[in-house]
Amino acid sequence: MTTDVHGSKGGPSPPLSRRSLLLGGAVLLGGAVAVGASFRTLGERWDVVVIGAGVAGLSAARNLSDHGLSVVVVEARDRIGGQLYTDRGFTSVPVELGAGLIHGRDAYTWELVAEAEAETVLVGPSDQTADPLSTPEPPHDGEDAAAYLNRLGIPEGRWPPVSIDNEPMHRWSARWMHDSGLFDWWSTPRENFRVVDGYDRILSPLAHGLDIRLSHAVRRVHWSDRGVVLSVDALEGPTEIRADRCVITLPIGVLKSGDVVFSPELPDDHREAIRALDRTDALKLVYEFDRPVFPAEKDVLGWDEDTGFVFWCLSREDPEVVVAWAAGENARRLTALAVEDRFAAGLAALAEALDETVPEPRARSTHDWATDEFSAGAYLFVPPGAHDAPAALAAPVRGVLYFMGEPTTGENTVEGAYVSGYDGTDLLLADL
């Protein structure tokens, strides 16, 4: 495990800039590139309404607004970022209760890091990678990943440790894992980066100048060939928002819950895609200690599937901040407990991993993604039979509804959401 500090200028650069490429395209098309959006009052009609101010919603709105369209973003929470959630109130360092890492040196999100002039730190590469798996025969369409690896005669001890940050193998589509290279993902050394002063720093280059309505929960999407009317619960009471087109970046848990009603119903392919995809459970328990607890020579503890938890030290300053991570079955076991008991279970597991007693933390923080009604679970995974679902959901509906974000990528990364907002709105712009 190595640690290396970068300023934005020293950080990796993506192979080509997604944003500058598209802005260049707007100029070539002769479109007036808006700096910021035109603000309208409610009751007026927008070119596009974007549902959700997570990374995908913000990048979609950025692209549309930069191409001169009138755009409003409608966000249920009182903050932007969605699953990218930086808690700045808890301790001396910003704590990520959702997404924490930039994966790899070629992620497109590096351009946002550079724009925000944010400082990053390299975490890794991990020194505990699995051996490459030989998967010469392709999986069957509905086969689960465990059944597939068993069929190939690959012993469980050699399976990639997917459940450390997701679901166990039997819940995954073998076809999706195979086609997306996920069976090999663990065998290549990974370089992950953390934004030192908070991951939410990368949101400002996307959000600046946009008209974002916070605390506006969409309850119903009335749609037809002529556009959409959204029924919205706002703090000041129910309201309606009208637009020619609608970008939907709701997380898969919310789409599955039916809390946002589509009227008329979505086409069969879209409903089937929503039914087929699923979301995992994931949980961080963050502890602040007033004396050093974590071994000086280690950054990460428990990076194996047997312990259930992974622990890392976020700050060695006074106070020391330690994060306990649980996903899949372990996260569900924890979220079934009262919050106090979750913290106690994390602390007991930390003591076991350290093989010594751990002091009472002086502060703690967590976020329950499972009961959060605007997430209804943590990030996406692709179950058996669902390998075509992300593409099916991404297909525009009659030039009016455009789904983007995590459920249309099959990925569960900030980078995937960022790229999806741009790619999806390219489709929309091409339809104009």
Ligand X SMILES: Cc1cc2nc3c(=O)[nH]c(=O)nc-3n(C[C@H](O)[C@H](O)[C@H](O)COP(=O)(O)OP(=O)(O)OC[C@H]3O[C@@H](n4cnc5c(N)ncnc54)[C@H](O)[C@@H]3O)c2cc1C
Positions touching ligand X (CB under 6 A) are 51-57, 74-77, 82-84, 98-101, 103, 217-218, 249-251, 254, 260, 282, 284, 369, 374-375, 378-379, 405-406, 412-415, 417
Burial class (CB in 10 A: 0-12, 13-18, 19+), 104: middle
Instruction: Let me know how long the chain is.
Output: 432
Specify the residue, 217 or 347, whose C-beta has the smaller distance to ligand X: 217
Q: By C-beta, is 143 or 415 nearer to ligand X? A: 415
Give 240's strand partners.
Answer: 231
- Closest separation between CB of residue 173 and ligand X, Å? 18
Do 59 and 407 meet the contact criterion of CB atoms below 8 Å apart? no
Single-letter amino acid, residue 72: V
Least distance in angstroms from the C-beta of 282 to ligand X: 4
Show the CA angle centred on residue 162, arms to residues 254 and 98, nearest 5°. 45
Considering beta carbons, is residue 58 or 400 the nearer one to ligand X?
58
**Measured between alpha carbons, how far is 279 from 298 in angstroms, rounded to an integer?**
31
Q: Which is nearer to ligand X, 282 or 349 (by Cβ)? A: 282
Whole-number minimum distance, CB 224 to ligand X, in Å? 20
Closest distance of CB 110 from ligand X, Å: 12
Smallest distance, ligand X to C-beta of residue 103, A: 6
Q: How far is CA 32 from CA 67, 192, 283, 429, in A?
A: 7, 38, 44, 14
Smaller CB distance to ligand X: residue 140 or 190?
A: 190
- Contact of 378 with 83, CB cutoff 8 Å: yes
Q: Tell me the helices (H) and strands (E) count for the chain, helix number first.
A: 14, 21
Three-class SS state of 370: coil
Q: How far is the CB of 180 from ligand X (least distance, A)?
A: 14
**What is residue 401's DSSP assignment?**
E
- Residue 79 CB, shortest distance to ligand X, in Å, is 8
- Token representation of residue 257: 């819950």
**How many C-beta atoms lie closer than 10 Å to residue 211's C-beta?**
18
The residue (of 249 and 315) whose beta carbon lies closer to ligand X is: 249
137/326 Cα distance (integer angstroms)? 33
Query: 82 or 308, CB closer to ligand X?
Result: 82
Considering the complex, what minimum distance in angstroms separates the CB of residue 420 from ligand X?
Answer: 7
Cβ-defined contacts of 424-428 (< 8 Å, 24+): 424/56, 424/60, 424/247, 424/394, 425/59, 425/60, 425/63, 425/64, 425/67, 425/247, 426/22, 426/63, 427/396, 427/402, 428/48, 428/64, 428/245, 428/247, 428/396, 428/402
Q: CB 199 → ligand X: shortest distance, Å?
A: 8
Nearest CB to ligand X, comparing residues 247 and 293 = 247
Minimum CB distance to ligand X smaller for 83 or for 315: 83
Backbone angles phi, psi at 364, to 5 degrees: -145, 155
